[in-house]
Amino acid sequence: MEMKDFSLEGKVALVTGASYGIGFAIASGMAKAGATIVFNDIKQELVDKGIAAYKEAGIEAHGYVCDVTDEDAVQAMVKQIAEEVGVIDILVNNAGIIKRIPMCEMTAAQFRQVVDVDLNAPFIVSKAVIPAMIEKGHGKIINICSMMSELGRETVSAYAAAKGGLKMLTRNIASEYGEYNIQCNGIGPGYIETPQTAPLRERQPDGSRHPFDQFIIAKTPAARWGTTDDLVGPAVFLASDASNFVNGHVLYVDGGILAYIGKQPQ
Ligand code: NAP
Ligand code: GCO
């Protein structure tokens, strides 16, 4: 093994939904490892903000407006990226939404919307990039899974169903395309400080920590929420040649949550 095996020099990486949050951090880390960064978002204003944020970080990123649930739009975006930037070597299926609603109060449309973004879209985008990866003789697909790929909890039925499915889609892409030197793995973040989890960390009127915030601290051996930076090293590893024999694996970056029964209440 050579240290250059961890380099992403000469590679084109598409990170979906990466104007901010986990996607932005992973894309920024991949850029530091040498990758050319391409990202998308639904709204032009967010793409513009994202490009400015990457520029501020010294990264010349390429941004595209695209709803990852729209197969025609995704196919067109992947074709445009190939023409304007280069064939995609690394795909990070990061775009995602969550709706925290008790299952019996959730409409079928709300359930479908979460599954559409969190599960159907990774299928759509992976399907769009795999043919050129086969032609090129290599490819890396990283699906951003979740604690909810393994665990359930109240109010996140659609999200857990989607992220559980995403774990199996990861394994199936690995199974079906491994022979073409394409590796598909997942990253399962623990509880990370991003806009998506902000409601779970809001200070209470009396200034105390949110009950869920306290719960997560007790459930995490590291006794802290994760930061987006905690995910960068694992993502660069799974995007690099250093992981060419790692396939169908979900790497949980959770501070130990899945290994721990939780701190006994004092
Ligand atoms: P976030 O802050 O809500 O960012 C999600 C990104 O996805 C946003 O840029 C959003 O764009 C984009 N997006 C949503 N729907 C899209 C669509 N249809 N097409 C294109 N882009 C779309 O979320 P995050 O916390 O960074 O999470 C990123 C990923 O990590 C998600 O898959 C999430 O499930 C997963 N995850 C998060 C945590 C955590 O603790 N934060 C833990 C485990 C897994 P808009 O702003 O335009 O909606
Ligand atoms: C929730 C949180 C989690 C995190 C993440 C944990 O409401 O439970 O949003 O779902 O986003 O997926 O890994």
Distance between CA 98 and CA 159 in Å, rounded? 6
Among 255, 226, 251, 225, CA closest to 239? 251
Cβ neighbours around 58 below 10 Å, total: 9
Residue 266: its pLDDT value, please? 83
* CA pair distance 85, 248, nearest whole angstrom: 28
- Cβ contacts of residue 157 below 8 Å, gap of 6+? 103, 106, 111
Residue having the nearest C-alpha atom to atom 4 of ligand 2: 191
Residue ranges, the chain, pLDDT below 70: none
191 has catalytic annotation: no
Please give the distance, rounded to the nearest whole angstrom, from the Cα atom of residue 17 to the centre of ligand 1. Answer: 6
Closest CA to 176 of 125, 141, 211, 218: 141
Question: What's the CA gap between 175 and 76, in Å, rounded?
Answer: 27
Percent of the chain scored above 70 by pLDDT? 100
Residue 3: what pLDDT? 85
Distance from residue 266's CA to the centre of ligand 1 (Å): 35
Distance of CA 96 from the midpoint of ligand 1 (Å): 4
* Ligand 1 surroundings by CB, under 6 angstroms: 16-17, 19-23, 40-43, 46, 67-69, 94-97, 117, 144, 146, 189, 191-192, 194-197
pLDDT digits over 11-54, tens only? 999 999 999 999 999 999 999 999 999 999 999 999 999 999 99
